[in-house]
């Protein structure tokens, strides 16, 4: 996605569609619009929606993150950094060398518009949390320690403003066995407006297969095949159907 696809290819057209939809979402949420403009927009969007619905097939296969590709392409459909997702701002992501020879880190830039408002003029706290979840996850990938979120603790130090360039840092700070520790911060200029620490759990390929197969009735066959292929390459068990994923909260009342 970093090397922009041709505008007439499938991905190129999806990029254009997502980019065209973003301002529509924002204007629907935040702009003063007269009734004639709204009526015309409703008619046009309903026609487009009906046309796409009539020609829509099954769910597209999800692309698994590939560390050999630019970080922006890790999660192309994500609501945070996915260029193919009109719900994403999107957060623009790159990889930098780690401090003092440490593992590679994530740097990102974003400006949240009015569609992401929480308190007046400020970014919604839930949007900040999901942004951290994805940025910390990406930092783990580039550090060579991909893992699933166990806990994410966010500290809101200052209100984070809307419609303003913001910088994000995220880095893996260490690991103990399967536990991966990660930190992230959002900056408005030099001011740290929010920070997060995450505890992530490394999940083996065979358990990813078990999770995916447990959701098989809601997953597309292409994604399942891709996950199984990755598990096979990692020498996972060839038959894990029916394996129950480990409960991260074994004492939880069911």
Confidence (pLDDT) at 40: 97
Q: How many other C-beta atoms can be found within 10 angstroms of the C-beta atom of residue 46?
A: 10
In a domain, 237, yes or no: no
What domain count does the chain have?
1
Confidence (pLDDT) at 226: 67
In a domain, 35, yes or no: yes
Confidence (pLDDT) at 236: 43
In a domain, 25, yes or no: yes
Cα distances (angstroms) measured from residue 54 to each of 2, 41, 50: 31, 20, 6
Tell me the three state secondary structure of residue 170: strand
In a domain, 20, yes or no: yes
Give which of 106, 113, 70, 67 is closest to 88, Cα–Cα.
113
- Residues 207 and 224: their CA atoms lie apart, in Å, by 13
Confidence (pLDDT) at 218: 66
Domain housing 35? 10-55
Per residue of the chain (254 residues), what is the pLDDT tens digit? 555 566 678 889 999 999 999 999 999 999 999 999 999 999 999 999 999 999 998 877 767 788 888 999 999 999 999 999 999 999 999 999 998 888 999 999 999 999 999 999 999 999 999 999 999 999 999 999 999 999 999 999 999 999 999 999 999 999 999 999 999 999 999 999 999 999 999 986 666 666 666 776 666 666 666 666 666 655 543 343 333 334 444 444 33
In a domain, 22, yes or no: yes
In a domain, 48, yes or no: yes
In a domain, 212, yes or no: no
Strands (E), 139-215: 148-156, 166-176, 179-188, 191-201
Confidence (pLDDT) at 230: 61
In a domain, 120, yes or no: no
Residue ranges in 143-220 assigned as alpha helix (H): 205-214
Global pTM reads: 0.81
Confidence (pLDDT) at 217: 66
Confidence (pLDDT) at 245: 38
- Tokens 């090397």 belong to which residue? 3
């Amino acid at each position: 996605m970093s090397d922009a696809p041709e505008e007439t290819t499938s991905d190129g057209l999806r990029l254009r569609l997502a980019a065209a939809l973003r301002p529509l979402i924002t204007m629907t949420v935040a702009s003063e619009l007269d009734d004639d403009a709204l009526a015309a927009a409703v008619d046009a969007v309903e026609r487009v929606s009906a046309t796409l619905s009539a020609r829509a097939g099954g769910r597209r296969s999800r692309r698994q993150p590939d560390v050999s590709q630019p970080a922006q392409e890790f999660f192309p459909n994500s609501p945070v950094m996915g260029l193919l997702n009109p719900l994403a701002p999107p957060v623009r992501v790159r990889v930098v060398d780690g401090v003092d020879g440490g593992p590679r880190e994530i740097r990102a830039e974003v400006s949240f518009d009015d569609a992401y408002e929480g308190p007046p003029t400020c970014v919604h706290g839930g949007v900040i949390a999901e942004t951290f979840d994805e940025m910390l996850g990406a930092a783990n990938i580039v550090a060579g320690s991909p893992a699933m979120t166990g806990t994410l603790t966010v500290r809101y130090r200052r209100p984070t403003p809307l419609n303003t360039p913001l910088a994000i840092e995220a880095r893996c700070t260490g690991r103990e066995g399967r536990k991966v520790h990660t930190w992230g911060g959002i900056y408005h200029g030099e001011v740290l407006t929010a920070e997060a620490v995450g505890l992530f759990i490394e999940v083996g390929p065979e358990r990813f297969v078990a999770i995916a197969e447990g959701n098989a009735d809601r997953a597309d066959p292409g994604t399942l095949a891709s996950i199984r292929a990755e598990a096979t390459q990692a020498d996972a068990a060839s038959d894990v159907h029916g394996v129950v994923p480990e409960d991260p909260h074994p004492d939880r009342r069911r």
